[in-house]
Chains A and B, each alone.
Chain A
Amino acid sequence: MILMKDVYKTYSNGVTALNSLNVDIDQGEFVYIVGPSGAGKSTFVKLIYREERPTTGSVFINNVDLSTLKERKVPYLRRDVGVIFQDFKLLPKLTIYENIAFALEVIEESPRAIRKRVMEVLEQVGLKNKARAIPDELSGGEQQRVSIARAIVNHPKIVIADEPTGNLDPDTSWEIMRTFEKINASGTTIIMATHSKEIVNTIKKRVIAIEGGLIVRDENRGEYGYEI
């Protein structure tokens, strides 16, 4: 599913973010990526949706080698990988409905199918009554649920979340986590980079700890393992 071999990543400013990283994640897994700030978590996550390319080594997603993937093929990869961010990344001028529909318009779905599917996911994340609102009118937790809805609307095989609860209060965070568990239960792989010790230690899943660009720990049903 997700396979990385000897991945090195050095940015143009000379910073080495990943240093001989090897990992293998199967379809349907739920994986936490933990580690101190600047350890390479974000770079690791960005490699999966081809925001970054490895300097050397290879990254395979569904048996496609991203290090040689042509630029014009990247959009098609991203349709199989839903992404969720700490800052939500919603289109500010579009309504909630339009934001989610956009991911389906991109794959040229019929308007009828779009309407049906968008209402479905809005129902799933409990925001059916906010369809006509714009992002600024929603709370942080609601906006994050919108971005989750957008990430899953076209049934991606992988959902990547980069600190999805970073900006949310604890109650809202648990709500978001319940949504992730539901998505995972339907067979979607979830990769979640997080700093939340509570979440990692409560909802036990595979934990990959990255430090200094290396995987220092990889255990099923692991602990967060850091103070703070």
Chain B
Amino acid sequence: MLGTRIGESMAMKFRTMTRHIREGFKNIARNGWMTVASIAAVTTTLILVGAFLALMLNLNQMANKVEEDVKINTLIDRTADPDVITELGKEIKDINGIDSVVFSSNDEELEKLINSMGDDGKSWELFEQDNPLNHVYIIRAQNPEDTMKIAEKVEKLDGVQEVNYGEDVVQRLFEFNKYARNIGLVLIIGLVFTAIFLISNTIKITIMARSREIGIMKLVGATNGFIRWPFFVEGLLLGVIGSIIPIGVVLGGYDYLEKVVSGQNKYAFVDILPFNPFAWQLSLIILAIGALIGTWGSVMSIRKFLKV
């Protein structure tokens, strides 16, 4: 007996839920131009958000790559004997935050130098007989921002003639990157909030036009939940439909961009995130933002009219 009653009420809830979803879809059609306006607002802002996100995430990626390239060249005292050199290697490894320490002999260093010079390098081959370069420890920090601190410590160790990491440039690079990231973050947050504001405002207008309808629904005994659900579904749909075009733009645009960039491979510096999975992840983010602001906008707007 109790079982069938629970079963009945469950069936009722399910039926009511399908009713709400159906009504949400119907409202999209019933509200014609208002629907178009809301979707247009969602579309415009999401295209902006998508393009900006793609730009910011790529810049961030590039900054990371540049930072990872930062290394400390530790020139070892030319008079140091092999024991001191080995000892120095151990001491460096013991410093906190060291990712790797690689020994490179002066011969290897000269070879690198000659190779990097290309044709001009030939003239340096003279020095192979009497190598003027030092043996070197090449150090990378786990966290590139610690480079300066580590370099200072290494400089004080026995057997170190000089440390070399492009002090000024590195310092400026890190500071620039830090600012760039913060500004980017602020801009994205600002943009998302603007989007939320714009879209929820548009949706609010469409709901305002229906405040009379909401009043009538309350008169015939509809509970707030009953009135709210179709609006919730409608908002979700507006957000999802509004994100279709932005996703298309992101996928198409990014595919094009990737082809252009990979066609100019000589600038290894410009190395964008690969289309797969980045463009798909970005699409998912856009869809999520669209769905979120659609539902949020409609639920927030309707709240006002339900208070009587």
A interface residues, Cβ below 8 angstroms from B: 49, 51, 72, 75-79, 83, 89-93, 102-103, 105-108, 110-111, 150, 154
Q: Are B216 and A107 in touch, CB under 8 angstroms?
A: no
Q: Are A78 and B30 in touch, CB under 8 angstroms?
A: no
Q: Are A90 and B220 in touch, CB under 8 angstroms?
A: no
B222 at the interface (CB under 8 A from A): yes
Q: Are A150 and B12 in touch, CB under 8 angstroms?
A: no
Add 11 more A-B contacts to A83-B220, A108-B12 (CB < 8 A): A51-B219, A75-B218, A75-B222, A75-B226, A76-B221, A102-B217, A105-B16, A106-B220, A106-B221, A106-B223, A106-B226
Provide the residues of chain A in CB contact with B99, threshold 8 Å: none
Can you list the 3 inter-chain pairs with the closest CB atoms, starting with the nearest? A78-B221, A79-B221, A103-B220
For the complex, give the distance between the alpha carbons of A211 and B220 in Å.
29
Q: Are A106 and B219 in touch, CB under 8 angstroms?
A: no
For the complex, give the distance between the alpha carbons of A95 and B196 in Å.
34
Nearest CB of chain A from residue B29's CB, rounded to whole Å: 10
B20 to A, closest residue via Cβ: A105
Interface of B is mostly: helix
For the complex, give the distance between the alpha carbons of A106 and B30 in Å.
20
Nearest CB of chain A from residue B215's CB, rounded to whole Å: 8
Q: B175-228: which have CB < 8 Å to A?
A: 213, 215-224, 226
Q: Are A75 and B223 in touch, CB under 8 angstroms?
A: yes
Nearest CB of chain A from residue B17's CB, rounded to whole Å: 11
Q: Are A111 and B15 in touch, CB under 8 angstroms?
A: yes
Provide the residues of chain A in CB contact with B213, threshold 8 Å: 91-93
Partner of B220, one of A51, A72, A78, A108: A78
Provide the residues of chain A in CB contact with B224, threshold 8 Å: 72, 75
Nearest CB of chain A from residue B287's CB, rounded to whole Å: 29
Q: Are A72 and B19 in touch, CB under 8 angstroms?
A: no
Provide the residues of chain B in CB contact with A111, threshold 8 Å: 15
Partner of B222, one of A49, A89, A90, A106: A106
Q: Which interface residue of B31, B216, B220 has the most chain A CB atoms within 10 A?
A: B220
**Would you list 7 pairs from A and B whose C-beta atoms are within 8 A, ordered by A residue?**
A78-B218, A83-B219, A89-B216, A93-B30, A106-B223, A107-B221, A154-B221
Q: Which interface residue of A72, A75, A154 has the most chain B CB atoms within 10 A?
A: A75
Provide the residues of chain B in CB contact with A49, threshold 8 Å: 219
A85 to B, closest residue via Cβ: B219
Partner of A90, one of B12, B30, B215, B216: B216
Q: B213-254: which have CB < 8 Å to A?
A: 213, 215-224, 226
Provide the residues of chain A in CB contact with B16, threshold 8 Å: 105, 108
For the complex, give the distance between the alpha carbons of A106 and B19 in Å.
10
For the complex, give the distance between the alpha carbons of A103 and B221 in Å.
7
Provide the residues of chain A in CB contact with B12, threshold 8 Å: 108
Q: B2-37: which have CB < 8 Å to A?
A: 12, 15-16, 19, 30-31
Nearest CB of chain B from residue A50's CB, rounded to whole Å: 10
Q: Are A110 and B15 in touch, CB under 8 angstroms?
A: yes
Nearest CB of chain A from residue B12's CB, rounded to whole Å: 5
Nearest CB of chain B from residue A191's CB, rounded to whole Å: 15
For the complex, give the distance between the alpha carbons of A35 and B221 in Å.
29
For the complex, give the distance between the alpha carbons of A89 and B217 in Å.
10
Q: Are B219 and A78 in touch, CB under 8 angstroms?
A: yes
Provide the residues of chain A in CB contact with B216, threshold 8 Å: 89-91
Q: B237-275: which have CB < 8 Å to A?
A: none
